[in-house]
C-alpha cells in the first residue's frame, strides 16, 4: 500500500524542497498527494499542480491544508514541514494534534519549551514526529555507529567534529536578505551558525557514540561585526560515559564547501568520515594501519548494507540519505520498529544544547547543563 504524503514549504527554488521530493518518492513508498508549498499562495498552488497534486489538494497555506486533509478518508499519512525555522513549531504541533505523522526540518523549534511541547504532543497523540537529521542516514555513518556498538574501537574517548563552510564569508554580501536573516535574532532566534549547522554535528556525535550530550562550554563570535548572532562557534562538550567532544562550526571559513566531518577516537581504534566523501570510513586500529571501508563492500553491518542503494563505487549522496529517512518513516508508519530514525526527542536535545551554548558563550565559556529539563 502506497502512503499519501503532503509537504509544507519546499516550494520552487527552495534549498531543501527538491531533496525531500527526491527522497520521499525514491522508493515507491509515498505519493505526493497534497501540498502548501510556498509562502505565496498562488505560486504554491500552481507549483503543487505542476508536481502532479490534484487541484483540490494544492493548498494556499498550511491551515487550509489542515482543514482540507483532516476530513478525508485518503488523507495524507505523513506531512513534511520544510518551511523557515520560526514556523516549524506551530505547523508541526497542529498536524500532530490532528493525528498526522510529521517529518520536521531542523531546528525543530525556536525554544526549549516549544521542543518539550512537541515531544509531549507527539507522545500524547501517539504519532511519529521525526526530525530531518539526514546525515545520520548515510550508510557509512550507520557503519560507524555499528562499529562503536560492536565494541570495535572500545569505549569512545573523544569526538572531534566540524561543520564549517565559507558561504557567508563575504562581508560585502552580508546585507543580502537571503543571508542577513540568519544572523538576526528576530528571524533566527538565539543562535545563528550553531543552531543552523552545529546541531547536525552535535546530533551526529550522539548518534554514532550512543552517548547523550550532558554539558557544553562555548565561545561564539560574530566575525562580521554587523551580525548580532554568531557566524563562528567553538563548542566543547562532555557526553554520558565520559566522552569528550570538540565541535567547530563556521560560515566564514572561505574555501570550505560543505565542511561537515567527524572523527571518533576510542580506546582501541579511531574512525573518520566526511560528508564530501560520504562513501568511505577511514578506520585505524590501535598500533595498526589505516583501512578504508567502502560503501557497498561485503562485510558491512546490516544497517549500512540495507541503506546502500547503488553498487560499490557508484556515487551516492545527500538525496538518498534523505530517502533513507523516508524509507524508515514509511516502515514506522506501517508499524515496524525502526532503530536510528531521528525523532522529536533528538530535536529537543538540540534545542537544549543551543540554549546551553548561548548561555555559556555569554558567561565566558562556563560549563552549562545541556540536557533538556524533562530528560534530567
Ligand atoms: P528556503 O528559504 O530556500 O525555502 C523555504 C520555502 O518555504 C520556500 O519555498 C517558501 O516559499 C516556503 N515557505 C515559507 N513560509 C511558508 C509558509 N508559512 N507556508 C508554506 N511555505 C512557506 O529555505 P530552505 O533553505 O529550504 O530551509 C527550509 C528549512 O529546511 C529550514 O528550517 C532549514 O533549517 C532546513 N534545512 C535543512 C537542511 C538539512 O540538511 N536537513 C538543509 C537545508 C535547510
Which of 24, 53, 62, 83 best tests ligand 1's pocket when mutated (most atoms within 8 Å of CB)? 83
Residue 178's pLDDT is what? Answer: 86
> Phi/psi zone of residue 111: left (φ > 0), alpha (ψ -120 to 50 degrees), beta?
beta
Residue 144's pLDDT is what? Answer: 98
36 CB near ligand 1 (under 6 Å): yes
Q: Is the pLDDT at 1 greater than 90, yes or no? A: no
pLDDT confidence band for 169 (50 / 70 / 90): very high
Strand partners, 161: 247, 262
Neighbouring CB atoms inside 10 A of 336's CB total 9
Residue 324 falls within a domain, yes or no? no
Q: Which residues contact 99 (CB under 8 A, 6 or more apart)?
A: 70, 125, 127
* Closest CA to ligand 1's atom 42: 16
Which whole number is the average pLDDT over 190-215?
98
Strand partners, 263: 160, 272
Listing DSSP states for 29-79 in one string gives SEEEEEEE--SSHHHHHHHHHHTT--GGGB-SSHHHHHHHHHT-TT--SEE
136 CB near ligand 1 (under 6 Å): no
Which cell is 213 given?
Answer: 550530550
Q: Tens digits of per-residue pLDDT, 122-157? A: 999 999 999 999 999 999 999 999 999 999 999 999
What CATH number should be reported for the domain holding residue 179? Answer: 3.30.360.10
| Separation of first and last alpha carbons in the chain | 41
* Closest CA to ligand 1's atom 4: 14
Which of 18, 36, 39 best tests ligand 1's pocket when mutated (most atoms within 8 Å of CB)? 39
Answer yes or no: do 349 and 214 share one domain: yes
Answer yes or no: do 230 and 358 share one domain: yes
Q: Is the pLDDT at 187 greater than 90, yes or no? A: no
Listing DSSP states for 73-141 in one string gives TT--SEEEEES-GGGHHHHHHHHHHTT-EEEEPSS--SSHHHHHHHHHHHHHHT--EEE--GGGGSHHH
318 CB near ligand 1 (under 6 Å): no
Answer yes or no: do 356 and 211 share one domain: yes
Residue 99 falls within a domain, yes or no? yes
Residue 365's pLDDT is what? Answer: 98
223 CB near ligand 1 (under 6 Å): no
Helix (H) or strand (E) holding 280: strand 277-285
Distance CA 17, CA 89 (A): 18
Answer yes or no: do 254 and 172 share one domain: yes
Q: Rounded to 5 degrees, what are φ and ψ at 236?
A: -85, 145
87 CB near ligand 1 (under 6 Å): yes
Distance 91 CA to ligand 1 centre (A): 13
What CATH number should be reported for the domain holding residue 66? Answer: 3.40.50.720
Answer yes or no: do 97 and 176 share one domain: no
Residue 238's pLDDT is what? Answer: 98
Q: Is the pLDDT at 316 greater than 90, yes or no? A: no
Distance CA 32, CA 4 (A): 6
11 CB near ligand 1 (under 6 Å): yes
Q: Tens digits of per-residue pLDDT, 344-361? A: 999 999 999 999 999 999
Domain residues for the domain of 25 are 3-131
Distance CA 117, CA 279 (A): 37
Residue 318 falls within a domain, yes or no? no
Q: Tens digits of per-residue pLDDT, 238-268? A: 999 999 999 999 999 999 999 999 999 999 9
83 CB near ligand 1 (under 6 Å): yes
119 closest CA partner among 327, 372, 376, 371: 372
Answer yes or no: do 123 and 159 share one domain: no
Angle between helices 88-97 and 112-125 (to 10 degrees): 20
Distance CA 229, CA 183 (A): 5
Neighbouring CB atoms inside 10 A of 186's CB total 8
Answer yes or no: do 79 and 163 share one domain: no
Answer yes or no: do 22 and 118 share one domain: yes
Residues of the chain with pLDDT > 70, as a percent, come to 100
8 CB near ligand 1 (under 6 Å): yes
Which cell is 297 given?
Answer: 563492500
Q: Tens digits of per-residue pLDDT, 75-96? A: 999 999 999 999 999 999 999 9
Answer yes or no: do 102 and 25 share one domain: yes
Nearest atom in ligand 1 to the alpha carbon of residue 40 is: 11
Distance CA 253, CA 250 (A): 6
CB-count exposure of residue 312 (10 Å: 0-12, 13-18, 19+): exposed
Which whole number is the average pLDDT over 29-44?
98
Residues of the chain with pLDDT > 90, as a percent, come to 96
Nearest atom in ligand 1 to the alpha carbon of residue 85 is: 32
End of a domain among 115, 131, 147? 131
61 CB near ligand 1 (under 6 Å): yes
Q: Is the pLDDT at 10 greater than 90, yes or no? A: yes
Nearest atom in ligand 1 to the alpha carbon of residue 88 is: 32
Answer yes or no: do 54 and 161 share one domain: no
17 closest CA partner among 45, 34, 40, 37: 37
ipTM for this prediction: 0.99
357 closest CA partner among 253, 221, 261, 224: 221
What is the Cα 152 distance to its own chain's centre?
26
209 closest CA partner among 253, 283, 266: 266
281 closest CA partner among 271, 296, 289, 290: 271
Which of 6, 9, 188 best tests ligand 1's pocket when mutated (most atoms within 8 Å of CB)? 9
Q: Is the pLDDT at 337 greater than 90, yes or no? A: no
117 CB near ligand 1 (under 6 Å): no
Residue 8 falls within a domain, yes or no? yes
Answer yes or no: do 103 and 175 share one domain: no
Number of domains in the chain: 2
Residue 284 falls within a domain, yes or no? no
Q: Tens digits of per-residue pLDDT, 58-75? A: 999 999 999 999 999 999
Residue 327 falls within a domain, yes or no? no
Residue 325 falls within a domain, yes or no? no
Residue 208's pLDDT is what? Answer: 98
Window from 1-5, 140-144, 312-316, 370-374 with minimum mean pLDDT: 312-316
Residue 232 falls within a domain, yes or no? yes
Distance CA 89, CA 107 (A): 10
Whether 26 contacts 326, CB under 8 Å = yes
Residue 242's pLDDT is what? Answer: 97
Distance CA 262, CA 74 (A): 43
Which whole number is the average pLDDT over 191-202?
98
Answer yes or no: do 357 and 239 share one domain: yes
204 CB near ligand 1 (under 6 Å): no
Nearest atom in ligand 1 to the alpha carbon of residue 43 is: 11
Residue 168's pLDDT is what? Answer: 98
Amino acid at each position: 500500500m502506497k502512503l499519501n504524503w503532503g509537504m509544507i514549504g519546499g516550494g520552487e527554488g527552495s534549498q531543501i524542497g527538491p531533496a525531500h521530493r527526491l527522497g520521499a518518492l525514491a522508493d515507491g513508498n509515498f505519493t505526493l498527494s497534497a501540498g502548501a508549498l510556498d509562502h505565496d499562495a498562488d505560486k504554491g498552488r500552481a507549483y503543487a499542480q505542476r508536481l502532479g497534486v490534484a487541484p483540490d489538494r494544492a493548498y494556499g497555506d498550511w491551515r487550509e491544508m489542515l482543514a482540507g486533509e483532516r476530513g478525508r478518508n485518503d488523507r495524507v499519512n505523513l506531512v513534511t514541514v520544510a518551511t523557515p525555522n520560526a514556523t516549524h513549531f506551530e505547523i508541526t504541533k497542529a498536524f500532530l494534534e490532528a493525528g498526522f505523522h510529521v517529518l520536521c526540518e531542523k531546528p525543530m523549534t525556536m525554544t526549549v519549551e516549544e521542543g518539550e511541547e512537541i515531544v509531549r504532543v507527539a507522545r500524547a497523540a501517539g504519532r511519529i514526529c521525526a526530525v530531518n537529521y539526514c546525515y545520520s542516514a548515510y550508510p557509512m555513518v550507520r557503519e560507524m555507529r555499528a562499529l562503536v556498538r560492536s565494541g570495535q574501537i572500545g569505549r569512545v574517548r573523544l569526538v572531534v567534529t566540524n561543520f564549517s563552510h565559507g558561504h557567508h564569508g563575504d562581508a560585502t554580501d552580508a546585507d543580502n536578505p537571503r543571508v542577513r536573516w540568519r544572523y538576526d535574532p528576530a528571524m533566527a532566534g538565539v543562535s545563528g551558525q550553531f543552531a543552523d549547522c552545529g546541531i547536525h554535528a552535535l546530533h551526529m556525535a550522539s548518534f554514532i557514540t550512543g552517548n547523550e550530550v550532558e554539558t557544553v562550554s562555548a565561545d561564539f563570535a560574530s566575525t562580521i561585526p554587523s551580525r548580532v548572532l554568531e557566524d563562528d562557534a567553538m563548542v566543547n562538550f562532555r557526553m554520558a560515559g565520559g566522552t569528550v567532544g570538540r565541535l567547530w562550526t563556521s560560515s566564514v571559513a572561505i574555501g570550505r564547501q560543505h565542511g561537515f566531518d567527524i572523527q571518533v577516537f576510542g580506546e582501541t581504534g579511531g574512525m573518520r568520515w566526511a560528508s564530501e566523501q560520504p562513501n568511505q570510513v577511514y578506520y585505524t586500529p590501535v598500533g595498526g594501519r589505516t583501512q578504508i571501508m567502502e560503501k557497498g563492500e561485503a562485510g558491512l553491518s546490516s544497517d549500512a548494507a540495507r541503506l546502500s542503494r547503488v553498487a560499490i563505487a557508484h556515487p551516492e549522496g545527500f538525496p538518498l540519505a534523505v530517502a533513507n529517512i523516508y524509507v524508515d518513516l514509511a516502515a514506522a508508519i506501517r508499524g515496524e520498529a525502526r532503530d536510528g530514525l531521528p525523532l522529536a526527542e533528538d530535536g529537543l536535545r538540540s534545542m537544549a544544547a543551543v540554549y546551553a551554548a548561548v548561555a555559556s558563550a555569554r558567561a565566558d565559556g562556563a560549563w552549562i547543563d545541556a540536557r533538556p529539563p524533562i530528560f534530567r
